[in-house]
Structures are given as structure tokens and as C-alpha cells.
Structure 1
Amino acid sequence: MAVTDPVDIRLLAALADLGKAAVHELAAKVGMDPREVAYRLVALSGSGLPLLVGVESDPNGLRAAIASAPPSWAQQPQQPPQPRPPGHSGPHNVQGTPSGPYNVQGTPSGAYNVHGTPSGRYPGPPSAPVRQPMAPPPRPPAPPQQQFAPPPMAPPDPVMSTWGVPQTASWARGDEQQVTPQAAPEGKKGRTGDVMETQGLEGEQLTVQLLEVQDPADYLFSAAGYSLEAGERSVVVHTEITNRGNIPFVSLPDNYLELLTADGKPIAKAPVSLTSRPPHKIGVRPGETLGGHTVYVLPDSTRVVAVRWSPRPEPDERTLTWSIED
């Protein structure tokens, strides 16, 4: 399976370095919310990757917690199993109102024939011929003076006959109704050094400033003990965030800080931190201003044109974009 989500790639890269880790430890390493990390790991585990998401517990502690819970489940009386009438097997309900597609009253439906003759490839005994009822005598024609031609019918409306009545769920004329896709809302735009206001997911009043973009920053990357592959370079972005409101900002400030290439593709941050350039820390209290550095690793031939900040993975009206081209 090919992994294309940059956040998933960053998460799997950190997990590959650790080999085995708790969810909260992995979340702290990549700077993400533990709940989002758990959700993504479970989804990736079910996609065929060699990944196993497990849970450890204290058995005695869990049993004590269960014992202290109200035993509402134990107060429900258990119904003894009802004996089945002879001649019936399987899970078919033949008492009271039948369930599912098994109709045992009146005319049977589907391939379940309950009136004598079996169906399918097990033929029953030959049955007596069925006498056909006599056809009723033909009705005499009406007198000439009572015969009249019906009024001409209007040609059927192709819309009505094909798609149903308007204002219903079946009304979807793809050949006449062209639905114009709405463009994704864009946030504020600026240049390096600009301070722009925005909001967090919980309504936090924030200002974010792009202070510096070091491109390339290979010497800082090597000084921290990391090595680049052939044809790669590193970039370091310095940002500062201020909480102007009364609601604490509890996320990692650069969780969704991305580089934008010339063809519009985003580049997520690398799961590394530099000793000489401290990273962002989780949480910004009301009235607090904090700064941090974010590291990126990308192909040496990639041209970076902008830096984008967003409180969520997908850009929206709260997104901030700084152009870094001269």
C-alpha cells in the first residue's frame, strides 16, 4: 500500500525509528494530539501496513473499576431459549411477526416456497393439472352514439418520466443542471515578517508572524547530528504565535505549518528538532507569546514559494499564507 498523506508519512517515519512506543509517546515525538495519532494508527493498521496497534492494561485495576460500576447489566433477566417447533431449523422466526425476508403467512416472497412443492433443484412429486377458469364472455360494444375518442394525450415530460417529481431526492438532471463547485475558502495572505490575525478551532484569538525562513539550513541540520540523503536539503522556519483572547490554545502551534512549492503542493514538517533552534511547545496561554522553529526536509530541486499556517489539516478561512519570493 502506498501512503500519500504527508502527516501519515511523518507519523510512520517516527514510528519506524522507535520500533515500539505508546501512543502518547509517539504523539509527543511528532508534536500531535494523541487522539489524532491513535485514529491515524488504527486506520493505517487496517490498510494492510505491517503495523499492529495494541493496548496494555492492569488486569486487577480494570476488574476493580468494573466491580465498582453499577451492575445494571446483571439486573436484566435472562430469557430461556424457546424450543423450536418440529420441522424447522436454523434462525428462522416462525412465532409471531416474522423477521427478515422469510414470509410464512400468506403468499411467500422470493425463493422461499412454503406451500408443498419445493423449489430449486429438488423437484417434488408431479401434481395434478390445474383447471383453468373459464374466461368471461366478451362485453358487447357500446352503441355508436356512446363511442367517443379520448382526448389526445400530451407527450410525456422526459424530465418527469426519467427523474421524477422536482423537489424530491430523485431530481438530479445532470444534463441540464450544472452544479458549480465552490472554491475552497482562502484565508489571509502576506509576506515574510507580516503579523496576521486568525482563530483556532475553539475560537481562540491568535496572531501568527513569520519571522525567518532559512533555505537551505543544511549546516544547522548537520550540527544537530542528522544527515541528509543525496539530493536533499533542509529548511528551517521561525514563527511566533500570540494568544490575544481568553481561551487557551492547547495544540502545537506548528502542527500544520507547511511549505508550499511552486506547483502548489504542501510539504509537512519533519519529525526532528534542532538544539540550536528550539522547536515549538504545546499550548499557548491567554496573553502569552511563544516562538519556535520548524524543520523540513525536501528534494534539493524543489522551489519553495510560500509558508502556510492552519489550525487543521485542510486549509480554510482561518488559514494564513506568507509569500517568501522576492
Structure 2
Amino acid sequence: MIAEMGRAAVHEVAARLGMDPREAAARLITLSGSGLPLLVGVECDPNGIRKALANSMAWGNYNGPPPAAQRQYPPYQAPPSVPFPAQPAAQQPQQTWGPPQTAGWARGDQQPMFGGSKGASGQRTGKIGTSLETEGLEGATFSIQLIEVVDPADFLFTAAGYKLADGERAVVVHTELTNTGAIPFNSLPDMYLVLMARTGEPVAKAPVSLSSRPPHKIGVQPGETAGGHTVYVLPEDTSITAVRWSARPEIDLNTLVWTIDD
């Protein structure tokens, strides 16, 4: 599976295997140490790490992590997956959608699930090309723009060296996050970016990245804009009605939704 993925975050590997991320990390490090051509890395906000350590040491509370024997981890639950159909469905044609001057490609065999509205802190729903405002769990304020939905994106998926099973298709979503406040955004922008099926089921992102469509990176500093692409693999006959962003697995008042019209 690692050879097929090529490049992925540890939590994505763990989710694919249904393991605790910490156990997955330990096994990957063991494999790397055994001589396999496998690199296990870390990506972080350097300034945020230094600041957190400095604050902890200033109060005299930082003594390093506890020994492994003393650590207690909560049980890990793998996220639910969308069941795939037993038989492949007929190929649906690709159609081009979105506001003028945008490259919003999306299949048009679905109905919108949400209407346009505004929340207390700005617009929360829109269409492809719309920039929506929200805030994160740590108080960061930002806007996210849905730039493009490429559906199907099988040609991009296979060009990157991946293979789709019979009855599957790939979708690629391009989004940009602009930090409009004074607090850094310290998460992965597309951590809980999902596709919404006509049945109401969310389709989580696949643990893959495409070299031709770079993925998101963790963290966006105040005043900065960062973009990235998110890849999905789903049953070929699943109709997508919207793209949904949330700061946590469940929806809340800060959740953003972009509808995909006929």
C-alpha cells in the first residue's frame, strides 16, 4: 500500500489501514530503519513550535514527553468509508461548470442540496468560484475559495501513476485559503474537506497526492494565501451535489458549503 501511495501523511496511512496514527508512525519508522527506501518526515510551523516551547519553559511546566511506558492513548476509531458498488456503472460525460473566468469542471447530473445564505461572520454558502468567510478552532479568521472541481479526473489520477478499480472515478478539488486575521491558521486546510453525494453521504479525501496538482501544506500565516488540491476516489455512479469544509469532523455554524448546479 505504501508503494502505491508514494507520498502521504502518517494520519492518512493510519486511516487507510484502520490503525492508531501513533502505531502507524512507529511501524513506518521501523520499516525505514530496516533499510527500505522509506522516509518518514515531520511538517510543522517552526515559529509556532518555538513559541509554544518558550511559553511552557517560562512557566516551568515543560519537562519533555513522558516515557513510552507511562503514556496512555485513547482508542483510535477509523473514519467511516463510503461503500463501493459491486458492479461498475456507465461512464458519465464530463461537463464544464462555474462562474465566468474560472476553471470549474464538474459533472452536471445532480441537484443542489443547499441554498445561499450568510452566517453571523460572513457568507457560508456559495458556488464554484465563490470565496466564503469563516473562522477556525483557535480563533483564526480566514476565507476559502473553491477554485475548481475536476470531475472526472481519472486522467490526472492515472498520469500520477495510480490505478482506479473497475467502477471507480477520481475527482480533484482546488481550494485556496486566505488568512484575513492576526492569528496563524495552524491546521491542514483540507483536513475535513469532503464531497457531498446526492444521498447526503460525505465522501472523504483519498490518501494520495498528485505531482501535477500539489496538495495543501499545514499552516497559513496572517495575510498569506495558500492553495492546494484534494483528491477523492469514489464510485463512478455517485452524483456529487456540493463541496463542504469544516474545521472538525462534524458540521457546525462555521461550516462552508459550495453547491454544484446542473
What's the counterpart of residue 16 of structure 2? 13
1:43 aligns with 2:50: no
Structure 1 residue 189: Cα displacement: 1.1
What's the counterpart of residue 325 of structure 1? 261
What's the counterpart of residue 151 of structure 2? 215
Aligned-partner Cα distance in 1 for 2:144–2:28:
33
Aligned-partner Cα distance in 1 for 2:249–2:198:
20
Residues 207 and 9 of structure 1: CA distance in aligned 2, closer, same or farther (over 3 Å) = closer
Aligned-partner Cα distance in 1 for 2:136–2:185:
7
1:253 aligns with 2:178: no
Report percent identity of matched pairs: 54
Aligned-partner Cα distance in 2 for 1:324–1:259:
10
Q: What's the CA shift string for 1:122-155, capped at 9, x where partnerless?
A: xxxxxxxxxxxxxxxxxxxxxxxxxxxxxxxxxx
Structure 1 residue 20: Cα displacement: 2.3
1:132-281 correspondence to structure 2 within 5 Å:
188-281=124-217
Aligned-partner Cα distance in 2 for 1:40–1:309:
28
**Are the aligned partners of 1:243 and 1:249 in contact in 2 as well (CA < 8 Å)?**
yes
SS where residue 28 of structure 2 aligns?
coil
What's the counterpart of residue 232 of structure 2? 296
Structure 1 residue 15: Cα displacement: 7.0
Aligned-partner Cα distance in 2 for 1:225–1:264:
31
**Are the aligned partners of 1:224 and 1:274 in contact in 2 as well (CA < 8 Å)?**
yes
> Which aligned runs of 4 or more in structure 1 are off by greater than 4 angstroms?
14-19, 25-28, 38-41
Q: How many residues were matched structurally?
A: 170
Q: What's the CA shift string for 1:212-269, capped at 9, x where partnerless?
A: 0000000000011100000000000000000011100010000000000001110100
SS where residue 221 of structure 1 aligns?
helix
Higher relative contact order (CA 8 A, sep 6+): 2
Aligned-partner Cα distance in 2 for 1:39–1:279:
32
SS where residue 161 of structure 2 aligns?
coil
SS where residue 20 of structure 1 aligns?
helix
Unaligned runs of 5+ residues in structure 1 are 1-7, 29-37, 46-185
**Are the aligned partners of 1:257 and 1:307 in contact in 2 as well (CA < 8 Å)?**
yes
1:286 aligns with 2:222: yes
Structure 1 residue 27: Cα displacement: 8.3
Larger Rg: 1
Residues 261 and 287 of structure 1: CA distance in aligned 2, closer, same or farther (over 3 Å) = same
Residues 9 and 294 of structure 1: CA distance in aligned 2, closer, same or farther (over 3 Å) = closer
Aligned-partner Cα distance in 2 for 1:311–1:212:
20
What's the counterpart of residue 309 of structure 1? 245
Aligned-partner Cα distance in 1 for 2:13–2:171:
16
What TM-score, normalized by structure 1, do the two folds share? 0.47
Residues 191 and 259 of structure 1: CA distance in aligned 2, closer, same or farther (over 3 Å) = same
**Are the aligned partners of 1:10 and 1:270 in contact in 2 as well (CA < 8 Å)?**
no
SS where residue 43 of structure 1 aligns?
coil
Structure 1 residue 19: Cα displacement: 9.6
Structure 1 residue 41: Cα displacement: 7.9
What TM-score, normalized by structure 2, do the two folds share? 0.58
Structure 1 residue 194: Cα displacement: 0.5
Root-mean-square deviation (CA), in Å? 3.2
Aligned-partner Cα distance in 2 for 1:240–1:207:
8
**Are the aligned partners of 2:18 and 2:77 in contact in 1 as well (CA < 8 Å)?**
no
Residues 279 and 39 of structure 1: CA distance in aligned 2, closer, same or farther (over 3 Å) = farther
Residues 252 and 20 of structure 1: CA distance in aligned 2, closer, same or farther (over 3 Å) = same
Aligned-partner Cα distance in 1 for 2:233–2:13:
11
Q: Which amino acid in 2 is paired with 1:271? A: P
Q: Which amino acid in 1 is paired with 2:27? A: K
**Are the aligned partners of 1:196 and 1:320 in contact in 2 as well (CA < 8 Å)?**
yes
Structure 1 residue 26: Cα displacement: 8.9
